[in-house]
Structure 1
Amino acid sequence: MPELAELMDKMKGVEAEIEAELTRRREELRFRFERRRIVFEQDIEKLQRAIKVGASKYLFSANPLIVLSAPVIYSLIIPFVLIDFWVMAYQAICFPIYGIPKVRRRDYLVFDRHHLAYLNIIEKVNCAYCSYCNGVAAFVREVAARTEVYWCPIKHARRVLGPHPHYVGFADFGDAEGFRAKIEGMKDGVKLDDGRSPTAV
């Protein structure tokens, strides 16, 4: 499928452009990475601290309904932690058997917003919570996607909103020969769309 390969190359080019733009934006906001730490220039950090809203003022000015709903939001930590550990155990046990490259969990769980001086402690806790839940969701999605690559690499007949990145390489719906070829090609282990071998972690 030369047309599909061309589209994939274009997508990679767009991703490279996005990363270049993000780098330019970081330079504008005057922060850099030092030994995995984010460091702002002193005058920028001073400005951020001046903008910060204190925790007590933030709490007492909040909508009472939002405060009352907070326990409901934070109760989700229980299922998220459970699924996080369960999926880690699943891929640790099953992926080596199937020959599927393991998903690096640390690539999906990113905690860096606590470096922002304009956030108070409540906002930092909220940001950490959101980072964890969204990171777990992304990690679980990738584990599920790689499982689908192994067990059922077939596109759906209907349009799928926001398919995972491996979906584009699936056999077309109704293409029996294409499906069998995909399954046959995984006898020595799964190779992902980015070319990584089954030994990658």
Structure 2
Amino acid sequence: MEGILQKMQALQAQLEEEVAKRRAAFSYRVENGRVVFGAEAKRRQRAMRIRLWAFLRATRPMTVITAPVIYSLIIPFVLLDIFVSIYQAICFPVYGIPKVTRRDYIAIDRHQLAYLNALQKMNCMYCGYCNGLIGYVREVASRTEAYWCPIKHARHLHGGHDHYAGFTDFGDGEGFQSGLVRSRGRLKTLDGSSSGGGDDRADQE
């Protein structure tokens, strides 16, 4: 499992290199938390923008009808954000778990793309917040699980978190206590980002 994790980290490093190449291809860079495009890139983007009225005319009626359902989820998402942040602020110092840095997960930067109209920008900000929040909450929850119950499940789960590979096997009663100590020890070595390493999404919030 350790070997597999090392391969995953190597692939992540390759992915970051590819992202850097794509940035150069689309003529932008990140400076002090802001995305900076070249003048020519901005001009091309504005030329590709679909005007708001044309965008609305092409939208299906059912999409408009269901939109309030989508936007209403902002209420539980904001409440989740508040409660999880309070939870880790109070409990993680007691457990000795490094706090998860929220801004490493929530990136709100797509509104800086000139080829999006106002409604598209608002939708992208909404998606960036909600999906980033899920990642942040997941990391807080996974660190909690790694501290209290680092045991694999009996059945295969899709999309396991970064800490899961280090959990003890299901049914390994002899190895549970030592595995618990190891899992808690690994947590203490983490920084505020994911155990897999953060990226510069934090700079986009």
Instruction: Identify which of 37, 52, 58 aligns with 2:34.
Output: 37
Corresponding letter in the other structure for 1:134: N
Give distance in 2, aligned partners of 1:135 and 1:157: 29
| Structure 2, unpaired ranges of 5+ | 193-205
Q: How does 1:73-92 map to 2 (within 5 A)?
A: 73-92=70-89
User: What displacement does 1:101 show?
Assistant: 1.2
What is the TM-score with the length of structure 2 in the denominator?
0.89
Give distance in 2, aligned partners of 1:27 and 1:123: 24
Q: How does 1:6-155 map to 2 (within 5 A)?
A: 6-155=3-152
Give distance in 1, aligned partners of 2:50 and 2:181: 59
Give distance in 1, aligned partners of 2:22 and 2:182: 42
Give distance in 2, aligned partners of 1:63 and 1:129: 20
2:187 counterpart residue number: 192
Identity among equivalent pairs (%): 51
Measured against aligned partners, the alpha-carbon deviations of 1:85-106 in whole angstroms (never above 9, x if no partner) come to 0000111111111111111000
Contact 1:99–1:190 (Cα < 8 Å) also in 2: no
Measured against aligned partners, the alpha-carbon deviations of 1:29-70 in whole angstroms (never above 9, x if no partner) come to 111122221111111110110110111221122111101111
Corresponding letter in the other structure for 1:75: S
What value does the CA root-mean-square deviation take over the aligned residues? 1.5
Contact 1:110–1:132 (Cα < 8 Å) also in 2: yes
Q: Say if 1:172 and 1:144 are closer, same or farther in 2 by CA, change over 3 A.
A: same
Give the secondary structure class of the aligned counterpart of 1:38.
strand
What is the TM-score with the length of structure 1 in the denominator?
0.91
Displacement over 3 Å in runs of 4+ = none
Q: Which has the larger radius of gyration?
A: 1
| Structure 1, unpaired ranges of 5+ | none
User: What displacement does 1:190 show?
Assistant: 4.5
User: What displacement does 1:185 show?
Assistant: 4.4
Corresponding letter in the other structure for 1:50: A
Give distance in 2, aligned partners of 1:190 and 1:66: 49
1:156 counterpart residue number: 153
Contact 1:52–1:117 (Cα < 8 Å) also in 2: yes
